[in-house]
Amino acid sequence: MSPLRYQLLQGGALREQLAPLAALRIAVFRDWPYLYEGTLDYERQYLETYARCVESLAVLVWDGDRCIGATTALPLQQADAPMREPFERAGLPVDDTLYFGESVVLKHYRGRGIGVAFFEQREAHARHLGLLHCAFCAVERPEQHPAKPADYIANDRFWQRRGYTRRPELQCHFEWQDIDQPAPTRHCLSYWTKAL
């Protein structure tokens, strides 16, 4: 097994690796619970928010020349409006929080500490920026959803061990096309937060 290489990028440097990051997001998010029928055009548009922000962070993990994992983060005040709105509606400040975009790792590479490293790197980035909180959101799906794998283990316990608390009162909504649907539908995501 070859050693993995971590690449940290900030701001516009993300554009150098936009194609492998987009492809990885599409591949991983096809699985439960996102079931995302992604397109490169949407990915380019989504990732441009991170590329425009000089205080953003992207961490890519490489096995040779293959991108096998990635995570992103940026100050919540620089995030797109739907990500900020739950905090603004609740009267919570957005200027002291680092928003975590995604953490995606190919199945074969899971269980090797990459997810823990992603949390450590993003939290270190928040501290470097002088931010006091971290937050991310995760999709909500019905327990009895027909596409849910019988052996699926949710990430909730992992997130709780990392010190994050689920905040069901903080929810945002996004549209995307599920892999088994003919058109985009609206999805609810709940936030998890942590004070540093």
Residue 1 is predicted with a pLDDT of 58
Residue 27 is predicted with a pLDDT of 96
Residue 43 is predicted with a pLDDT of 93
When pLDDT is cut at 50, 70 and 90, the band that residue 8 belongs to is very high
Residue 185 is predicted with a pLDDT of 94
In tens, the pLDDT along 39-87 reads 999 999 999 999 999 999 999 999 999 999 999 999 999 999 999 999 9
Residue 102 is predicted with a pLDDT of 93
Average pLDDT on 150-156 reads 93
Residue 161 is predicted with a pLDDT of 97
The 3-class SS string of the chain reads CCCCEEEEECHHHHHHHHHHHHHHHHHHHCCCCCCECCCHHHHHHHHHHHHHCCCCEEEEEEECCEEEEEEEEEEHHHCCHHHHHHHHHCCCCCCCEEEEEEEEECHHHCCCCHHHHHHHHHHHHHHHCCCCEEEEEEECCCCCCCCCCCCCCCCHHHHHHCCCEEEEEEEEEEEECECCCCCCEEEEEEEEEEEC
pLDDT at residue 182 is higher than 80: yes
pLDDT at residue 2 is higher than 90: no
